[in-house]
Structure 1
Amino acid sequence: MYSTKILLIGCVCAGMFLSIYLRKLTVGGAVCGGLIAFLLFLGTGFAGLLMMAAFFILGTAASQWRHQFKIVMGLAEADKGQRVASQVLANAGVPALAAVLALCFPSQRELCTVLVAAAFASATSDTLSSELGNVYGSRFYHVLSWQKDSRGENGVVSLEGSIAGIAGSAAIALLFACFTGWTPVVAVVLLAGITGNVFDSVLGATLERKRFISNDTVNFLNTLFAALLAGGLLSAIDF
């Protein structure tokens, strides 16, 4: 176990260095991400760690996909999408809290792993639906009124983006299944991720548009919502 931790620390440090070198994360963002990664491993094992890695890889790839097009359309993120610590916490803060709960209550480790999976499923769904929807979407609608709206506005959805979001949630659910097997809980993770993404759009269309909350807050709340929904569904099916 000791040698595994040493190897893990080396891999995480290498990932931190690479993310800084490739300008995917700031130094603060990389340090924050590295600490959360190690915390996830301690609390939920390789399952939580790899789900975080999958979210980061898929989210980064989606953000960089057709980046020049996004620049021309005024949709590209600042600093070429380089993430800072607050953005890392917004997307991975809830999984980190679930990992802490797993450490405090080892008997609930399986439940906490589900919460981690649901949160990352929502974060991945949100990122892919937004980034790829802005590129491939043909018609854009306000999520509440269903009136036509502008590409890239908060709370705006498209069919293409929604499909990408479902695929993102499915990717995390599939990775979760690799560690737990094909049980009804996989469907819970998938559903929680998709619903969390919808909740993100609702927050974007209401509170974020009115500038009551920031995008980081929206991202944190959508992952929290997904985790709580998964926990509620598990209680209903007597997990």
Structure 2
Amino acid sequence: MQLIVGSIITFLVVIMAYMKKSLNKSGFVAAFILGTSIYYFGGFYFWGIMISFFASSSLFTKYRKKEKKSMDKIIDENKEGRGYIQVIANGLLGLVFSFLYYKTKNYNYLMAYAAVFAASNADTWASEIGVLSNKKPVSIITFKPMEKGMSGGVTLLGTIFSLLGSSLIATIFFGGYIILFKFDRTLPIKTMIIVIAGFMGALIDSILGATIQVKYIDERENIITERKFYKGKQTKYLKGIRFINNDIVNFLSGLFASLIVLLFITIVK
């Protein structure tokens, strides 16, 4: 029954996302499998945390989309929606921690799970709203001005929304925890840890984006980009580790956020 319910409600969500072009065909399949599996292992609570990330991030991605069109030359993004690689990059760790919780019923894995999506949400909110800032972003490493949309750039507006994005997932964690397990005196601390871990995960995403993420240059227009191909032509490698693209960085930021939670829990015990 858990599997049937999970597959039905996941299908309803992902088919709407596909119709609105938030997912392409491969992303639709991957999101359906991921969502159904997470519901099976963690129930509506885990599924709700994941959907909160997906729904809110998709909303901000569509928000004032025409104003973000100038970033197309920089960001390697599928116009037909998120593909399976993006879904896996943001959700695979969540699936792993939902499975670990299913097998052990260890609350630490529940917190790590929430931290993964808090980091993804924080990063997406920061990226999608930060590019709308009136002020030019600066490098998180050198504090020098950068082009809008380039990984590693931060703005005050984006940083604020990063914290808000992490806080949303932590709030869903908080409310669901009370419903399922009742309130306990450690819950506010657990929730704050998730907020901090998600926010730090987004910061780590920016640091990795500024340092090791691959960058290319289009010599025809003399622009630095994250796209391997631009306007039908292959761009030239500029810097960074060749296989570290934005999807790998997103995965690593979620991993760091979950490790921050698990490390903190280990230290305070």
2:133 matches 1:102 = no
Name structure 2 gaps, 5 residues minimum.
179-186, 216-238
CA drift of 1:149 comes to 2.3
Q: Distance in 2 between matches of 1:222 and 1:40?
A: 20
1:183 to 184, 188, 196: 188
Q: Distance in 2 between matches of 1:121 and 1:55?
A: 8
CA drift of 1:106 comes to 2.2
Q: Quick check: which one's strand share is greater? A: 2
| CA separation of 1:130 and 1:31: change in aligned 2, threshold 3 A | same
1:162-173 aligned at under 5 Å gives the runs 162-173=159-170
Q: Distance in 2 between matches of 1:60 and 1:197?
A: 17
Calculate percent identity across the aligned residue pairs: 26
Q: Quick check: which one's helix share is greater? A: 1
Structure 2 residue matching 1:80: 3-state secondary structure: coil
Q: 1:216 is matched by which residue type in structure 2?
A: D
Map of 2:117 onto structure 1: 120
Q: Distance in 2 between matches of 1:36 and 1:151?
A: 32
1:76-225 aligned at under 5 Å gives the runs 78-80=77-79, 82-103=81-102, 105-108=103-106, 110-181=107-178, 182-208=187-213, 209=215, 210-212=239-241, 213-225=244-256
On the 8 A contact 1:47/1:113 being kept in 2, the answer is no
Q: Distance in 1 between matches of 2:3 and 2:37?
A: 12
Q: Distance in 2 between matches of 1:54 and 1:137?
A: 28
CA drift of 1:7 comes to 3.0
Point out the more displaced range, 198-207 or 77-86.
77-86
Name structure 1 gaps, 5 residues minimum.
none
Point out the more displaced range, 31-40 or 112-121.
31-40
Q: 2:111 is matched by which residue type in structure 1?
A: V
1:17-96 aligned at under 5 Å gives the runs 17-74=15-72, 78-80=77-79, 82-96=81-95
**TM-score scaled by structure 2?**
0.82
CA drift of 1:130 comes to 0.7
On the 8 A contact 2:162/2:199 being kept in 1, the answer is yes
CA drift of 1:107 comes to 3.3
- Deviation per residue, 1:149-193 (Å, 9 max, x gap): 222222010000000100000000000000224431001100000
Q: Distance in 1 between matches of 2:83 and 2:69?
A: 20
Q: Distance in 2 between matches of 1:143 and 1:96?
A: 30
Point out the more displaced range, 88-97 or 12-21.
12-21
**TM-score scaled by structure 1?**
0.91
| CA separation of 1:73 and 1:204: change in aligned 2, threshold 3 A | closer
CA drift of 1:48 comes to 1.4
On the 8 A contact 2:75/2:149 being kept in 1, the answer is no
Map of 1:9 onto structure 2: 7
Q: C-alpha root-mean-square deviation of aligned residues, in Å?
A: 1.8
